[in-house]
Amino acid sequence: MLKGKNLLAIHDLSADEVEEILSLAADLKTMQRTGVPHRFLEGKTLGMIFEKSSTRTRVSFEVGMFQLGGSALFLSNRDLQLGRGEPIKDTARVLSRYLDGIMIRTYGHERVLELAEYATIPIINGLTDLLHPCQVLTDLLTIREHKGKDLRRLKMAYVGDGNNMANSYLCGAAKVGMSLTVATPPNYKPDENIFGLAQDDAKLTGATLEWMEDPYKAVEGADVIATDTWASMGQEAEHDERKKIFAPYQVNAELLARADRNAIVMHCLPAYRGEEITEEVLEANAPVIFDEAENRLHTQKAIMVLTMGN
Ligand code: CP
Ligand code: NVA
């Protein structure tokens, strides 16, 4: 279903396509762990454009491509002519002549949309200021592993900044019918347009999506709690101000006491201990959080096989 398509945003995918990704990701995980060869992308090359830093995204895409029998090229904007002002639309048309797919991590979401408009090969969004779809698809897989396959019975709460992760959780929860409450300070709400698109999906799947200011109320009875850095890449100058504004949104033992007693805590990493999450909560949830990191590999392999495979 996804063959030849882009992976730019979860709201572009059908519920069946999300299911296809999650189910193939689980299969690929089993194959990798049991040593079953799965060189489904032999001879294919992925270009990975990074205009921001990365540990997980870079390594998991590169290793994933290697395990699938293909190869990956790390293309930093410090080296590409793109970094010296060559237009995205020219870069897209040139790279389409050499590669079989492009993963891009950048600032403005419109850069990814322009790349996709001019490229003739699948484009995968590896994070923009607006969305982080590969991470949230990964998180859905991880929630299934820890909480069971039926996500519709779960209540999730996202606490912190209404950033790319919050926006993508709204899209992901809406698509799979999971209830999600997002708690942020009033001036740091998720993107209004994305919230609207997610609400359209939620009407079809029965998901309840809510925003509120109070993090304590948001986590009441939650099965899954997620948070993310208070200052995303590009917001470094606002870090000190944000630390003050977001202080009541820290995921700590006191907040967790309001959630379901078996609640799991997720974090896409990198984490800033003592800010959005305490050392104690992070370490107590390390099995989930590092599964989440590992699952980037399996989920992205599934995305690459489905979009770039024959
Ligand atoms: N979670 C995530 O995308 O991590 P990186 O920034 O290290 O890629
Ligand atoms: N919101 C964070 C996520 C990092 C993976 C950022 O954009 O920096």
Number of domains into which the chain is organized: 2
181 lines ligand 2 (CB under 6 A): no
> What DSSP element (H or E) covers 293?
helix 286-308
State the DSSP code for 130.
Answer: S
As annotated, the active-site residues are: 105, 132, 135, 228, 268, 296
pLDDT in tens, 269-307: 999 999 999 999 999 999 999 999 999 999 999 999 999
Report d(CA 303, CA 82) in Å as an integer: 25
Which amino acid appears at position 248 of this protein? P
Examine residue 195 and state whether it is found in any structural domain, yes or no.
Answer: yes
Indicate the Cα dihedral angle 292, 296, 298, 304, nearest 10°. 160
SS3 251: strand
Same domain, 167 and 285: yes
Rounded to whole angstroms, the Cα distance separating 145 from 259 reads 19
Residue 24 counted as domain residue: yes
Does residue 304 share a domain with residue 266? no
**CB 219 less than 6 A from any atom of ligand 2:** no
- With 0-12 / 13-18 / 19 or more C-beta atoms within 10 angstroms meaning exposed / middle / buried, residue 198 is buried
Paired tokens of 62: 């590169």
- Beta carbon of 268 within 6 Å of any ligand 2 atom: yes
Find residue 251's DSSP bridge partners: 277
| Domain annotation covers residue 1 | no
* Domain span holding position 148: 136-292
> Does the residue 271 lie in any domain?
yes
Looking at the CA of 292, name the nearest ligand: 1
Which mutation among 268, 269, 289 tests ligand 2's pocket best, with the greatest number of atoms within 8 A of CB? 268
Instruction: Answer yes or no: are the C-beta atoms of 109 and 134 closer than 8 Å.
Output: no
Q: Which ligand 2 atom sits nearest the alpha carbon of residue 52?
A: 8
Q: What is the pLDDT of residue 1?
A: 86
Same domain, 222 and 159: yes
Closest residue (by CA) to atom 7 of ligand 2?
232
- Ligand 1 atom with the shortest distance to the CA of 53: 6
Assess if residue 98 is contained within a domain.
yes
Is the alpha carbon torsion for 80, 83, 87, 88 positive or negative? positive
List, in sequence order, every residue forming a beta bridge with 180; answer none if it has no partner: 156, 209
Task: Indicate whether 279 belongs to any domain.
Answer: yes
150 & 268 share domain: yes
Instruction: Give the closest ligand to the alpha carbon of residue 289.
Output: 1
Are residues 70 and 188 both part of a single domain?
A: no
Task: Mark whether 142 and 238 lie in a shared domain.
Answer: yes
Nearest to 132 by CA among 224, 54, 225, 26: 54
CATH code for position 205: 3.40.50.1370
Distance 308 CA to ligand 2 centre (A): 26
Dihedral sign (CA 251, 158, 10, 80):
negative
Q: Are residues 41 and 121 in the same domain?
A: yes
pLDDT for 124 equals 99
What is the amino acid identity at position 33?
A: R
Closest C-alpha residue for ligand 2 atom 6: 232
Q: Is 4 part of a structural domain of the chain?
A: no
**123 and 226 inside one domain:** no
**96 and 35, same structural domain?**
yes
CB of 147 shorter than 6 A to ligand 1? no
**Ligand 2 atom nearest to 228, measured from its CA:** 1
Ligand 2 mutation pick, 229, 268, 269, 289, max ligand atoms within 8 A of CB = 229
Closest ligand to residue 267's CA: 1
231 and 284 inside one domain: yes
Question: Could you say which residues of the chain have pLDDT below 70?
Answer: none
Whether residues 223 and 274 share a domain: the answer is yes
Residue 3 belongs to some domain of the structure: no
- 118 and 74 in one domain? yes
